[in-house]
Amino acid sequence: MNAAKRREIFLRLQAANPHPTTELEYRTPFELLVAVMLSAQATDISVNAATRQLYPVANTPQAILNLGEAGLRVYIQRIGLYKTKAKHVIQTCRLLLEHHGGEVPQTREELEALPGVGRKTANVILNTAFGQPTIAVDTHIFRVSNRIGLAPGKTVLEVENKLIKVVPEEFKHDAHHWLILHGRYVCQARKPKCGACIIEDLCEYRDKKFD
C-alpha cells in the first residue's frame, strides 16, 4: 500500500470520527489504568459495568488498596480472569503509592514495571491519558492492519513498528482509536461489513463480503 492510500484512509476515518477515544469509561489516568488492566480478554461493556460500581466507592490507589484483594473481587467478579486481575491491581496500587506518589507514571519503562501492565496497556495509557503518539496493537488493530494491507506483520510488535513508521504524523495520536473502532464495528473477524466500509475502495483484502 502506498503513502497516498494510507493518507486517504486516515482522512476518511478522521472525517467520520473527528475526535475518537476509548470506549472505556474513566475520569483520571488511574481510572483508565485500572480499566485497561481489567479489559484483557474482556469486553469494554463488561469493564464499564464493573467500574461504574467500583469507582464511586474506590477510584484512587489508596482507596482500592483499602478494599483489599477480596474486596476488589466483589466488584470485578463478572470479568474474566478476575482473581488474577484483582491481585495485579492491588499490587499496582501499592507500587504507585510506594514509588510514584500515588500517580500514574508517564514513561513506558515505569508503566511496564507495574504488575499486569504489558506493552499494549502501556501504549493505551501513554496515548489516551497523556497524549503521546503511541499505537497500542490489539487483536482488532492487528487484523485490520494485515487485512487491508496498511501495515502487514506476523507479530503484534512488527505491526506496531510498521504503523509507527507508515502512519502520517498528523494522524498518529488518533490512529489507535480509529483502527480499533473500525475493527470492532466494521472490519470484523468472521464477517467484515465491506458494504458499509468507508475505505473499501482503498482496501487490499481479496475476499471482500458485500452481503
**Model confidence pLDDT, tens digit, residues 35-60:** 999 999 899 999 999 999 999 999 99
Report, at the CATH architecture level, how domain 3-20+134-202 is classified.
Answer: Orthogonal Bundle (1.10)
Query: Residue 162 above 80 pLDDT?
Result: yes
The rounded distance, in Å, linking the Cα atoms of 35 and 30 is 9
CB 51 within 8 A of CB 34: yes
Q: Which of 5, 44, 87, 120 is catalytic?
A: 120
The rounded distance, in Å, linking the Cα atoms of 173 and 177 is 9
170: CB partners within 8 A, 6+ apart: none
Which residue is associated with the grid cell 469509561? 25
**pLDDT > 90 in the chain, percent:** 95
| CATH ID of 29-129, from 2.40.50.1070, 1.10.340.30, 2.40.30.20, 3.40.50.300 | 1.10.340.30
The rounded distance, in Å, linking the Cα atoms of 8 and 192 is 20
pTM, two decimals, is 0.90
Q: Which of 83, 87, 138, 201 is catalytic?
A: 138
> Considering the chain, what is the average pLDDT of its residues?
96
Catalytic site includes residue 154 = no
The rounded distance, in Å, linking the Cα atoms of 206 and 211 is 15
What are the tens digits of pLDDT across the range 72-86? Answer: 999 999 999 999 999
Catalytic site includes residue 138 = yes
- Residue of 154, 135, 140, 137 whose CA lies nearest to 186: 140
Q: What is the pLDDT of residue 131?
A: 94
Domain map (residue ranges) of the chain: 3-20+134-202, 29-129
What are the tens digits of pLDDT across the range 109-149? Answer: 999 999 999 999 999 999 999 999 999 999 999 999 999 99
The rounded distance, in Å, linking the Cα atoms of 152 and 50 is 35
